[in-house]
Structure 1
Amino acid sequence: MALGVCKAWRAVIDAHRLLRVDLLPFSLGGIFINFNGQVFSEYFFEPSTTPTISLMSNYVPHSTRSGRRNVESHCNGLLLLSGNYVVNPATRWWAQFPTPLRPESSNKFSYRNYLVFDPILSPHYEVFSVPYISYHGLTEESEWPPSSCTLQVFSSSTGGWEDRLFVRDGEDAEMVSDMFLRSAVYYRRALYVRYYTPNIVLRISLLDGKYRAIKPPSDTQINEILSLGKSKDGVYLASVGSEILRIWVLVESCGQTEWLPKYRADLKWKLREKLRSSWVLQDVNYYNEYNGLAIDKEEAEMEARAENDHGPFLFLGFHPFEEVVFLSRSLRWGVAYHLTSSKLQYLGYQYPTGYNYFIAQCEDITDAFPYTPCSM
């Protein structure tokens, strides 16, 4: 299928000499998954249709057993790893950026970094350091988001951090005593960041220097776990509770934002329609961290496979180009739910070798990132 590129995009591409459209991130490669307590993020993919990427542990600097290299953010083929590393797994390119200097007034905040990379517009990337309020940060309620906020932004084009002022647009802020950051997506020159308590999404516009707090869908509960992502029609939210999957899409028009219900499915009834695939886990932690320890890999895998796979679903992410969501079943099985056909597809076994031997009762998936390779 031919890809059409509008004249404005062609002009931008030509201006930046980004003529190799075939190298841009237009396909899904796999999913990077952070298992609690693991040193490296695991890569879950389909080897028959997706080129195998090199283990990042082979070329990204790390200190064995102490220096974690988990994926913290993904944007159009680039990964941001813990330790201030930006990596392109498709080309084995990596770079490290410095930690910003914080003003004394920022001591009451914690920070999380998010990556912004748009190869259509520029070969350079930016890292946004976004503040949040932790339990130890405040003893009293505070206005959030404030009327204006200065964010620290690292640019690869200058090699340094700069302060950028953003002004609140839209409704007034709420009074909160704690706010925790979770996932973020970049879409149409804006960074959408999801806070966990309360469930709001902060839309940070890179075009006009404004940001807006977007309230959750009206039919959600206060403590409902919502997952933010990007897919075929833009910015999405998902909720997987009691095996009920609900999907909303964000509609933005004339300065107004609204979450519209898009899909709802009872997953437990879909298990009768299992389709099988052959995705595999790269198992980087076993070969880098556990190998050589007192563990029988075959025996450990057989025990883990024999365990009950009828536990809860965890949300892994949205397919970036198709109406598909990715789920984890009991941490053991990767699952794809096709929204338009209502088919549930078991992708493959995704449980890391030896994980239950060394993590005991702390097994969990803390983050997951659908990955779109970029060969630039």
Structure 2
Amino acid sequence: MEGMDLTPPLPDDVLAGVLRRLAPRGLAVSRCVCKAWRRVVDDRRHLRADLLPRSLGGIFLNLHDLRFTQFLSRPTTGAAVSGRLDYTVPGEPDRLPPIYVKDHCNGLLLLHHCVVNPATRQWAPLPPRPPLPQPPPPGMSVCTKEYLVFDPTMSLNNELLIVPNVPYKLNDDNECEESEWPPATLILPVFSSKTGSWEERAYGRDGEAAGMLPGMHQSTPRLCFQHQCGYWRGALYICCDDCFVMRISLSNNMYQAFRLPTELTEDENFYLGKSINGIYCASIFQGSQLQVWFVNFQCVHGQTEWVLKHGRDIFPILPNLNYDEQCDGAWILQEFYCWGQEHSDDEAYTVVYCNEAILEEKFVWDSDNDNVLEPGSRSKDSFLDFLGFHPYKEVVFLSDKFDRVLAYNWSSSKIQDLGKVFPKFYIDWDLHFHHKYVSASFPYTPCWLGELPEKLNLEAQLED
């Protein structure tokens, strides 16, 4: 009979448990099935845009020689996201191993041992990494990096890709046979949270190789420590050694290799990542000449080009801050740290916790108006480094003199002071070593939607 509801009479709680596991697009479709389904979705507010990663929650900072990642975030009256990730490691607090972020994608963090959602405090352990299925050419070796892919608007599953860097010669005296890099078919280990296991996945090359081995450079200035990548519309963009970018399409298992906007030089600093309209690359040369480039990818013809969106000398508008007296800005460091000091007798660790709670203030950082700095006269002794892009605004984050976090809006040419890069205990401790710096940084977008795989099920697989 037309108009009759033919769906099985499931209890609302059971139906809600099934529907809430769907991605947002699936939830939207399910509302159209019948009135009962629409009522369940709407009454429980399953389809909520504010649960998706659509706002910037802060920046995770890996600091040289610190055992725990730091978290720089704005004060908030909402549910606070803690930078403490030690709950993912079972065991006594005084014996915790180093915990630092390796990658971030749409609300999920990749740690060495697990994938974690700091907003919901859910985490899932990872099985041991497999070896590369394609060994490097004879006489050469290769390092790898890991990249997390997660798009909650498409699926609640995540994937982890292990991608090799440019191979390098083990011995300068060895003769190595010439070969293309990357190869015509790139075989990568890929972990899927859906299956809970690793698999080998082949990606065919679309276009020319980036270069020929062994003549390519294994490392380039300013790229040694940074983890630079961005996920945009089904493709993962990776900034690789020897100044090229790899675009890996996850929908058709194809990849492209194309060059950065200009060749990297000794005094030039690059950063590649996702921002408001896609994938961007920012560069600083001659100390303060800033350029922002945009990747224009033509899906029809498969062509990729760089478009210059902004270029200027930002030295005249840099503020003259007093770094000895400057206090917190619009954002604050949570200052959680575990400092381990080994003892030769029992290999125990001395643990120091510095945990500063997020302030309860009734404001959200205004990326257009808050803490806008006036240009100040200063000596040209500053050093600017990249901390990442704002994912939803025309803003690039910089560290100034390794001490302050600045937000530069390239559409308005405004500079804002966000706060300190380093906690005080780190600066005091590092005075004896003189090598404090940010080894990696990850602009973080909280995601309150979805669940990670059950820990017990995956742990059972690891034991088998």
**TM-score band, normalised by shorter chain:** 0.7 to 0.9
**Aligned amino acid, residue 133 of structure 1:** V
Which residue of the other structure, out of 318, 327, 336, is the alignment partner of 1:271? 318
> 5+ residue gaps in structure 1?
1-8, 298-307
* SS of residue paired to 1:278: coil
Question: Aligned pair in 2 of structure 1 residues 65, 244: CA closer, same or farther (>3 Å)?
Answer: farther
Residue identity (%): 38
In the alignment, residue 193 of structure 1 is paired with which amino acid? Answer: I
Q: Distance in 1 between matches of 2:95 and 2:400?
A: 28
| 1:26 lines up with 2:58 in the alignment | no
After the TM superposition, which residues 198-347 of structure 1 pair with which residues of structure 2 at under 5 Å, given as runs? 198-218=242-262, 220-223=263-266, 224-241=268-285, 242-253=287-298, 254-272=301-319, 277-285=329-337, 311-347=382-418
Give, as a single letter, the amino acid of the residue that structure 1 aligns with 2:254: K
Find the structure with the greater CA-based Rg.
Answer: 2
TM-score, normalised by the number of residues in structure 2: 0.69
1:129 to 162, 169, 178: 162
Q: Distance in 2 between matches of 1:366 and 1:65?
A: 24
Structure 2 alignment gaps of length 5 or more: 1-22, 31-40, 322-327, 342-348, 356-378, 450-464
> Counterparts in 2 of 1:1-376, with a 5 A limit?
11-14=25-28, 19-48=47-76, 51-61=79-89, 67-81=97-111, 83-102=112-131, 106=135, 108-135=141-168, 140=176, 142-177=179-214, 178-180=217-219, 182-195=227-240, 197-218=241-262, 220-223=263-266, 224-241=268-285, 242-253=287-298, 254-272=301-319, 277-285=329-337, 311-359=382-430, 360-376=433-449
SS at match of 1:356: helix
Deviations 1:24-48 (A, max 9, x none): 1010001111111111111111114
TM normalised by structure 1 equals 0.84
Contact residue 277 and residue 345 of structure 1 kept, 8 A: no
Contact 1:309 1:329 in 2 (8 A): no
Instruction: Give 3-state SS (helix, strand or coil) of 1:354's partner.
Output: helix
Name the SS of the counterpart of 2:337 in structure 1: helix
Which residue of structure 2 aligns with residue 304 of structure 1? Answer: none
- Is the 8 Å Cα contact of residues 109 and 137 (structure 1) preserved in structure 2? no
Equivalent position SS for 2:408: strand
Cα distance, 1:95–1:166 mapped onto 2, change above 3 Å:
same
More deviation in 353-362 or 257-266? 353-362
* CA deviation after TM superposition for structure 1 residue 335, in Å: 0.5
Displacement after TM superposition at 1:367 (Å): 1.1
Quick one: structure 1 residues 62 and 264, their matched pair in 2 at CA, closer, same or farther if it must change by over 3 Å?
Answer: farther
Q: CA deviation at 1:97?
A: 0.7
Where 1:355 maps in the other structure, the secondary structure is: helix
Between the two proteins, the alignment pairs up a number of residues equal to 354
1-structure distance, mates of 2:425, 2:65: 12
Shift of 1:273: 9.1
Once the two structures are superposed, residues 245-272 of structure 1 have per-residue CA deviations (whole angstroms, 9 ceiling, x without a partner) of 1100001112110011111122221125
Seen in structure 2, the aligned counterparts of structure 1 residues 100 and 72 have a Cα distance that, compared at 3 Å, is: same
Using the TM superposition, give the Cα deviation of residue 333 of structure 1 relative to its aligned residue in structure 2, in angstroms.
0.7
What is the Cα deviation at residue 280 of structure 1? 0.6
Partners of 1:58 and 1:100 lie apart in 2 by: 21
Cα displacement (A) at 1:109: 2.5
